[in-house]
Every structure is written in C-alpha cells, then in structure tokens.
Chain A
C-alpha cells in the first residue's frame, strides 16, 4: 500500500551527471505527474508515495504549511476552506490572491508548492537531487500564464529548461515510442483546458502546423454544470468544493457504468450517464469547433490526418471518444495512457535538452501579439501559428511636433480592438529627440522565444537610444519579489522541508486514526476479536507517537495501522454494497 522510500543522496553522482539530471513535469489542473527518462526514448513515470497521479490539491495547515496531493484532498471533508484545487485555472489571473489561513497567496506560489512537493518526493524516490525540469503548459496558455508557470518552477527551486506545450509533448511521446509518422491531430481535453494541435511528424522533426484551444474549457466546467443542474437546487449541506469533488468521482465511475452513486454521511448522491452526456454535449461541440478552425488554419483536409491522439482525463468519456471518431473519421489512439502521455513527452524533452538528441520540436505561438495604435486598434506584429522562435521589427513614428516620449501598449489576442485583447504590458520609451512630427523613427522589436515568452525592445533610430523590456505581466510579483522569495526559500529550504515532512506525516497519521475510529464506531462487529485487539493497540501506539516529533516512527506506525485496517476496509466494503467508493479502501477518502 505505502511504498518503501529510498533515502536520498547515498551515493553522490559525479558532477557531469548532476548537470544532466532533469525531469519532466506535467503540472495539470486536476493531477500532476513527474516522469524521468534514464535512458534515451524510455520515459518512466515516477510514482510519488505510491501514487502515479498526484492530485493538484494543496491544503494549508493552521501553521500555514502546504500539504499536497491526496492528503490535501482528504481534508476536503473536514476543512474545505483551506483546500485549493484547480489552481492552474488561475494562472492567467496571477494577481488574484487566495486567502488561506493567514496567508494571501498568488497562484504562482500555490503552484510552486505543488512543484516543490513533486520535486522533494521525486528526490527521495530517485535518490538524487533534482534541479532542472521541463514543465508542460496548455498550448493555448497565454503569455501571462506561461510566465506564471515558469516563475512557479523557479520558486520551487527548479531551473525550468523549457515550457513545452502539452499536445506537443504528447506527440513527442507517440512519435518516439510508437514510431508515428505523418500528420497527427492531438485532441487534449483536460480538467481545465482544451487544446487541439496539428503536427507533422517526419523523421526526427516534430513540426506543429497549427494550434487552437481554450484556456477555460475543461472537465471542471462540466463539473460545475452538473452541480448547477443536479446538486444545487437540492439544498444540500455540501460545501461547493466538496460537491465538485463528489461530482468528479461520480463522473469517473460513469466511464464504465450507466449509473453511479455514492453515499456520504448517510446522504446518497447519484448521477446517470444520460444526465452527464446531456450536459457534456455543448462542451464537446465547442471542442469540435476548435478542431475545424485548426484544420482551416493549417489548410489541411481531415482525410490527410493519419491519426488522432487522445490526451487528458476527459477523453476517457465514451461519448467524447465517439464524437472525436465521428469528426475525424478514424478511431482515435489512446494506447499510451491519456493521463500520462504528456509527462512522458516532458521527460523525453528534459533528457534531450540535457543529454542531446537528434529530435527537433518546432512549435508555434498560439496567439497573435500586437501593439495599440491610434483609436484603440491593434496593430498585429506577430501572427498566431508563427513558428518559434520568432522576431519581428515594426517601425513607428511620432505624431506630434517635438514629441519626446511614446507609450507602447502590448496586447495578445486575435481581436481588432485593444479592449477585446489581453493587455500584457505598457511601457514608455523616453528620450526621443524633439523632432517634427513623423520624423523620428522608432523601431520596436518583438521576440518570442521557444518557451513562448515575449521580449520587446524599442530603439529610436536617428539617435540610437534604446530601451529593453522583458514582458512581465503585472501579477503582483515583481522580479525583485520573486528573487527574494527564491533566496528565502533556498536559505530555509532544508528547515522547511523537515518541518513539512513532519507535518505531512502527522496529518496522514491523524487522518488514518480518524478514519479507523469512525469505522470502529460503525462496524466493529465485522471484526474478529484478534483483529480488533491489533487495531486498538496500534491506535494507542500512534496516539503516543503523535506527541513525539519523530517523523520516522509516526510514519512506521501509520503504515502498520494502514496495513492492519486494510482487511477491515475490504470487509466493510463488501458489507455495504451500496458503499460508493468501489475499489478504494477507506483510507483513501
């Protein structure tokens, strides 16, 4: 049940290998995964504390320490206010602060807690320090969300080698493992975002032809629709976060069943496949519109597509599989697990960037970039679907006599008017020599690098005055703040880590303790006398251990208790036929 952990750093590796050690991280809306390719073309998922998929949930303890993963999810039942889920959906509203306990946290910080957890757990698992990573982002993530993701990585103590688009990572995994060649469509429907990318796989080259998507179209939206249609009006005592979690569990069960139900604290919740499908249809239609547009962008006929790759948890839904099959006219591929394929691609790219590889990823920018001109109209400088890196120069002039400064307003989006696009940054170019209107020549250069991140420089040509700006969307963390936070986290890193591990151990122990006590209260007649004695004695031991600050002892006793209660859990489940969480034992909820 619980995995034996390898102690880190027993045999330090030589420096050269240290440099080349890099992992791939799929930082997902619902789950996050970490993979590592120890050999070329052989990526492996690294299970952390025995779990392949780590729930992207964070619980903040009274002391303000973050607890990540299933332990955080399990706190939903007791303390939903201090649990954060789906933080990825806020990455492009990175200035929005989330109040948890006494903390006021940005999505960057919360995501960094998830990444830090993945990093430390993987370090224990691999027995090796991890400093470098490739992190995946939805192809349709805008500049702000990309920067926020990169910063979250830095804050977690990771050098982010590359931000790789999720569909591109998936194609890389398919291309290398399944030797796919030709034009492929990657249909990526996850918890929070939808992407459709068309790629040409030719030899060692993975060329993205076009990408379309929606940063706010995912399984979470369907969960909300279900909540509004079937849960809200019942006036249930559930907290919204708890309800959404129950809905997700029901939805997952409906992959194989026609009707799902779940009993929690004597209240039964049911959902039928019919209800789910009715509510899902409009969302599927939206995804297919994107597919249509991407085909048009790339000027490709459906018939020339060789295969469709499914990515993301939502693609497990039979209705979605059928819709994709009907649209493209071929059976989609899911022979690499749609939940895991992105992490594999990330691990492969991490290896390629540290050890070298002949493979080449040629990706594109998903959204156009431009400048505000007179009348609030956008002058596009870089068109969407431009291959990266891209660099464009545009010349502007002054429109007033003696004008010495100029305001540049950089926007991202496809619409004609500034008000309909995403504002990225405003900056002023000073020191333009006072000349008659229309004489000064100001060159503005836009460069988008292979991570999809933008740099803008401006130069007045007659004098050579130049200004350099790296676009930093205003999400409330300046570069200074960030550097300070990084250095603080490095200084206190070890202390923090030990403290956090102890807290995590305690939370896990208390959770199992509580679950066991509840179970005993309700169903102790199911136990044999000797089983009961064992469980009770372990409970006493655990209670004593909890008063100590010895993490190892707490963990060991917790594991023993978990093992001892496992048969009890099985019995209870068999007994309560309508117990909803089939296949899970009591310790997982």
Chain B
C-alpha cells in the first residue's frame, strides 16, 4: 500500500483553516482527478490528529474545537471522494459556478432533448438485456463526459465545462434510476 507523507498541520492551525476549500484542507492541488487511496490516507491521518476520541488522552484545547476540525475534515473527505461532488466543488473554487441556479440558466436545448429521450428509454426498459445495454451505454457516456470536462477545465473553457458538468449530473441521476 502506498504510504504518503501528509502535510496535515499541527494543532496551532489558525481559524483560516475553516475558510479553506476541501482541496486545501488536505493540502491537495485543485484537480478534477485525484488519487482516492492517497486521499484516504490523508483523511485517516487527519482524523488520527483531530478525532474527538484522541482528545481524551491528550491535553489539547476543548472538545468543541476538536469536533469542528474533525467535522471539517469529514466534510471535505465526503466532497472529494465523490466524483460529482468533487467536480461541483472544483467548479465553485474556480469561480465558474456560483450557485446551482447558474447551472439551470445554462440549459442547452439539445442536451435536454437527449436526456428526455434517454429517460424514456430507461423507463421503457423491461428485460434484463435491455437494462444491461442501457447501463453500459450510460457508463460509456459518463466516461466520455468526464474526459470532456477534464479537457475543458485544462483549456479554461468555462462554458464547455459547465455544459459537461450538467450532462454528468443528468447521466448520474439516470444511472441511479436504472439501478
């Protein structure tokens, strides 16, 4: 297993910590793709320092403060380990996505039609065979949209990135419905 030297700061952490984004909290670069195993190790390391169970046998500050830190790391971990939440967070960190409404105003009529048709197909799928076919189609689409999102972020193409992200959100929901 990969052992990572983790730059989790000591308890002298200032309150600045709480204004950091989830990537910064784990000392990670702003990136769409991350190494999940590495993230997990950083997360465990952070919890080793800040989990309230640790407080009982050490002499550090108050439990409330510790709980705040542990909760902040938990939240950041929940965001980063989930691809969609991570993408959403990244777009917000970049300042491209302000709120979820921003996304709504970017409705692409072609995309909407495509998704509605796909949804009808999913609702109409009865046999296992049909479902399997749709599932692999969806997974393929998700894969491609993810790559497109990656490219558009690299190229600083804000509009394209938002369109890809919205498509991904739809695809994920359809994928869930199918299951």
Q: Which residues of A contact B (CB under 8 A)?
A: 161-162, 202-205, 207, 296, 352-358, 360-362, 386-392, 447, 449-450
Contact = CB atoms under 8 A, between A and B. Distances in A.
Contacts of B57: 353-357
Contacts of B51: 360, 362, 450
A503 to B, nearest CB: 37
A390 B53 contact: no
Given A360-B47, A362-B47, A391-B68, A162 B74 contact: no
B172 to A, nearest CB: 12
A296 B74 CA distance: 21
Most buried by B among A355, A357, A361, A362: A362
Nearest to B54: A360
20 contacts: A161-B56, A205-B47, A207-B44, A296-B179, A352-B53, A353-B56, A353-B57, A357-B57, A360-B44, A360-B47, A361-B53, A387-B74, A387-B78, A389-B52, A389-B67, A389-B70, A390-B75, A391-B68, A449-B67, A450-B51
A115 to B, nearest CB: 21
A447 B67 contact: yes
A213 B58 CA distance: 35
A389 B74 contact: yes
Interface string B62-99: 00000110111011011000000000000000000000
Nearest to B72: A391
B65 to A, nearest CB: 12
A316 B3 CA distance: 41
B48 interface: yes
Contacts of A202: 44
B145 to A, nearest CB: 20
Contacts of A203: 44
Contacts of B78: 386-387
Contacts of A360: 44, 47-48, 51, 53-54
A392 B68 CA distance: 10
Given A360-B54, A391-B72, 12 more contacts: A204-B48, A205-B44, A360-B48, A362-B47, A387-B77, A390-B74, A390-B75, A391-B68, A391-B75, A449-B52, A449-B67, A450-B67
A203 B1 CA distance: 11
Contacts of B54: 360
A389 B52 CA distance: 8
A235 B75 CA distance: 58
Interface of B: 44, 47-48, 51-54, 56-58, 67-68, 70-72, 74-75, 77-78, 179
Nearest to A359: B53
Contacts of A362: 47, 51
Contacts of A392: 75
B53 A389 contact: no
A150 B59 CA distance: 25
A360 B43 CA distance: 12
Contacts of B74: 386-390
A353 B52 CA distance: 10
A211 to B, nearest CB: 16
Contacts of A354: 56-57
Nearest to A161: B56
A205 B43 CA distance: 11
Contacts of A205: 44, 47
B92 to A, nearest CB: 16
A357 B67 CA distance: 19
A388 B71 CA distance: 7
A563 B67 CA distance: 55
Nearest to B55: A353
A389 B54 CA distance: 13
B75 A353 contact: no
A386 B77 CA distance: 10
Nearest to A355: B57
Nearest to A451: B52
Nearest to A296: B179
A357 B78 CA distance: 26
Nearest to B57: A356
B20 to A, nearest CB: 15
A391 B67 CA distance: 9
Nearest to B58: A356
A450 B52 contact: yes
A548 B124 CA distance: 83
Contacts of B48: 204, 358, 360
A179 B71 CA distance: 29
B44 A391 contact: no
A162 B68 contact: no
Contacts of A162: 53
B60 to A, nearest CB: 13
A447 B65 CA distance: 12
Contacts of B72: 391
Contacts of A353: 53, 56-57
Contacts of B52: 389, 449-450
A458 to B, nearest CB: 17
A391 B44 CA distance: 18
A362 B77 CA distance: 13
The 10 closest A-B pairs by CB, nearest first: A356-B57, A391-B71, A387-B74, A389-B71, A353-B56, A389-B67, A450-B52, A205-B44, A389-B70, A390-B71
A206 B33 CA distance: 26
A353 B44 CA distance: 18
Nearest to B52: A450
A161 B53 CA distance: 9
Contacts of A361: 53
B15 to A, nearest CB: 15
Contacts of B67: 389, 391, 447, 449-450
